Amino acid sequence: MRIENKNAIVTGGASGIGRATVRRFVAEGADVLIADRNRANAERLAQELAHTGRKVIAHQVDVSDEAQVDAMVDRAVRELGGVDILVAAAAIPYAGFGAGEDRHRAIIDKPFAEWREVLGVNLDGVFLVDRAVARAMVKAGRGGRIINISSIMALRPALNSGDYCVSKAGVWMLTKVLALELAPHRITVNAIAPGGVRTPMLQAALDRDPKMEQGIVDSVPLRRIAEPEELAATALFLASDEAGYYTGAMLHVNAGTLMA
C-alpha cells in the first residue's frame, strides 16, 4: 500500500497507460478521479473498482478546455479532499484519432488545424492540467507528485508525426520548468518516456499495418512491446515516498530502444 490514503487524478484514465495506472493506484490504496473524454469507459472502470472500498470517481473532461480542467480539479478537491498525485496521460497520436481516419502527414502537408488539435490535447492539455493541480497543491500546502507521460519521440524524431514529436518534447520541457518552479512547495514533477506500449493507440496502428508489430519488436533490444502495467509501475514509483528525491527527471521505459 505504497500510496495509501493519497488522492490522485489520472487523465486519459479510461484506457491504455492511464487505465493501468488507475488500477494500480487503487490497488496500492489511493482514491482516484478517472478523467477521460470517454465518459462511458471511465464509468465502466469506476464500477469495476467499486468493490475495492476506495473512492473512485469517473469524470468526463476535454483536457484542452481550460474551464473543464479547472472544474475537474475543483471536483477532485471537493470530493476526494485534495490532490496529492497527478498522472497526465491523456494524448492523441494525430488529429482525428478514433474517428477512423489516419492523418499522419509530413509537416509540409499538415493543415494548421490538425497541428493545433494534437498540440491542444498533448501539450496545452498537460499545461492546463499541471497548472490547475499545482495551484491546488500549493494552496493545500502538503506537497505532491506530478507525473507527465511524455514519449521516446520527445527525443527522437519520427517521419509523418511531427506534431506528436513536438508536443511530447514540449511536455518534457514543461516538466523541467515546473520542477524548478514547484520545488519550494515540495511538489515533484517528473516525466515518463515510453517506447512502444500495447495500448489502443498503438493497436490502431497495428490494425492498419499488421507488419508493423514485427518491425517494432525487431527495433527493441529486449524484443517485445511493453504492457501498460509496466508503465503504471513506473508511475507508482514516482508517486510514492521512494521517489522523494526525483524531480525534473524523465524515466525511459523503452527496453533499451533509446538509451539517454
Q: What is the pLDDT along the chain (260 residues), one digit of tens a residue?
A: 999 999 999 999 999 999 999 999 999 999 999 999 999 999 999 999 999 999 999 999 999 999 999 999 999 999 999 999 999 999 999 898 877 678 889 999 999 999 999 999 999 999 999 999 999 999 999 999 999 999 999 999 999 999 999 999 999 999 999 999 999 999 999 999 998 888 887 777 777 777 887 887 888 888 888 899 999 999 999 999 999 999 999 999 988 888 76
Q: What is each CA distance from 243 to 8, 30, 86, 170, 185, in whole angstroms?
A: 16, 17, 14, 23, 16
Provide the pLDDT for residue 260. Answer: 67
Give yes or no for a contact between 9 and 78, defined as CB atoms under 8 angstroms apart.
no
**Which residues are annotated as catalytic?**
164
The string over 75-89, giving b where at least 16 C-beta atoms fall within 10 Å of a residue's C-beta and e elsewhere, is: bbbeebebbbbbbbb
| 138: its cell numbers | 500549493
Quick one: 192 exposed, middle or buried, by C-beta within 10 A (0-12, 13-18, 19+)?
A: buried
Domain annotation for the chain: domains and CATH numbers: 7-253 (3.40.50.720)
Residue 225 DSSP symbol: P
Provide the pLDDT for residue 100. Answer: 66
